[in-house]
Structure 1
Amino acid sequence: MIKSPAIEIIKTFSKDEFKRFAEFTESPYFNKNSNLLKAVKYFKKISPEFRRMI
């Protein structure tokens, strides 16, 4: 089980909210952190399983 304040917040996102969050983090204008981008891409890839894992 993953325990993190950020993960706890992401778990509350609806499908549309997560999509918009991913679009926001993928924007080079708003996000300069490559690790965040990698994490969001990973969560997008496992999206259906993500909620069950946590």
Structure 2
Amino acid sequence: MLGWALTFLIIAIIAALLGFGGIAGAATGIAKIIFFVFIVLMLISLLANALRGKRPKL
């Protein structure tokens, strides 16, 4: 999921450099949403593992 956020961020940067403002804004918005969803899911996963008493696998 973090990879998708980075992909949309790169698309937004390239679109902004080429002058496509609408596409850059949309890709930036999508990247932000996916990034925050990733953060929330990561925190939920860490909390669930902490409550179970198991150490996360690295």
Same fold (TM over 0.5): no
- Provide TM-score, normalisation by structure 1: 0.42
- Provide TM-score, normalisation by structure 2: 0.40
Which is greater in Rg?
Answer: 2
